[in-house]
Amino acid sequence: MNVQSLSDHSMAFPPTNQPPDTRSRILDAAARLFHEQGFNATGVSTILREAGVNPGSLYNLFPSKDALLAAVLERYTELLHPIVMEPVEKKTSDPIERVFALLQQYREWYSPLEFRLGCPIGNLALEVADSHPEIRPLIQQNFDGWSAYVRKWLDDAGDRLPRDLDRKQLAATVLTVMEGGLMQARSSRSAAAYDASVGQLRAYFDLLLARASAGRTQP
């Protein structure tokens, strides 16, 4: 879900032996720059330079900078599974561990950069949600897809979690922890608040698991 991953996969969907085409080069450059600098701070001319493309080519493929942003967010939706979720599901089959493997994955992506970047979706959510109404649904789609994976894992956990637990709400909270934690990590250039939040989430899960376990043995 970070820009490097997106670039790495620019040729992967569908896989091909050809050099990355213009559209992909533009999308990759735009995604990277929007992630690194934000949408408003990224000039179209910078995208063009980085993608090695002429203005006319870009505007043949995307009617506007806003439409390019929309395409970048569509691409993030496509890449949600292969880049974000698949590695996590390959790492562990325990549904609850998957939740924390996902949170750990973000830590591993961004701590080498000293949290200089943040979640590209979250960044855009705060930057353009108000000014670009047509973009909001695409951000929401990314958030919904992300939460849906977590929700499914929580469902997979079955009665290891309390029966009366609202798993949809908990899934939303996992996203909240990731986004709120990364925001503080970026501000402090330190993992502390992110780790703290994940730690408290882990403590919460432990209490839930204990309660469910008690409920199962002594109903």
Partner DNA sequence: TATGAATGAGGGTTCATTCAT
Partner DNA sequence: CATGAATGAACCCTCATTCAT
11 near DNA (CB under 7 A): no
Binders in 44-103 for DNA, by CB under 7 A: 44-46, 53-61, 63-66
- Tell me the CA distances in angstroms from 151 to 103, 124, 155, one per residue in order: 14, 23, 6
Considering beta carbons, is residue 24 or 197 the nearer one to a copy of itself? 197
Considering beta carbons, is residue 63 or 137 the nearer one to DNA? 63
Q: Is 52 left (phi over 0), alpha (psi -120 to 50) or beta?
A: left
Considering beta carbons, is residue 9 or 23 the nearer one to DNA? 23
Interface with a copy of itself by CB under 8 A: which residues?
A: 36-38, 40-41, 116-118, 122-123, 125-127, 129-131, 136, 139-140, 143, 166, 168-170, 172-173, 175-181, 183-184, 186-189, 192-193, 196-197, 199-201, 203-204, 207-208, 211
Question: For residue 174, how far is the Cα from the chain centroid?
Answer: 12
Query: Where do we find the tokens 């996203």?
Result: 175
Which ranges constitute the DSSP H helices of 22-94?
22-37, 44-51, 55-61, 65-79, 86-91
Considering beta carbons, is residue 9 or 160 the nearer one to a copy of itself? 160
Measured CA to CA, the distance from residue 26 to residue 22 in angstroms comes to 6
Q: Write down the least CB distance from residue 128 to a copy of itself, Å.
A: 8
What residues are paired with 15 via a beta bridge?
A: 12
Which residues, in sequence order, are CB contacts of 146 under 8 Å at separation 6+? Answer: 80, 84, 121, 175
For residues 211 and 150, the answer to whether their CB atoms sit within 8 Å is no
Q: Write down the least CB distance from residue 188 to a copy of itself, Å.
A: 5
Q: Which stretch binds DNA (CB under 7 A): 16-24, 98-106, 125-133, 153-161?
A: 16-24
Among 8, 12, 13, 21, binds DNA (CB under 7 A): 21
Considering beta carbons, is residue 23 or 202 the nearer one to a copy of itself? 202
For residues 91 and 101, the answer to whether their CB atoms sit within 8 Å is yes
Angle at 211 between CA 210 and CA 214, to 5 degrees: 85
53: partner contacted, choices DNA, a copy of itself, none (Cβ within 5-8 A by kind): DNA
139: partner contacted, choices DNA, a copy of itself, none (Cβ within 5-8 A by kind): a copy of itself
Residues that bind DNA (CB under 7 A): 21-23, 42-46, 53-61, 63-66
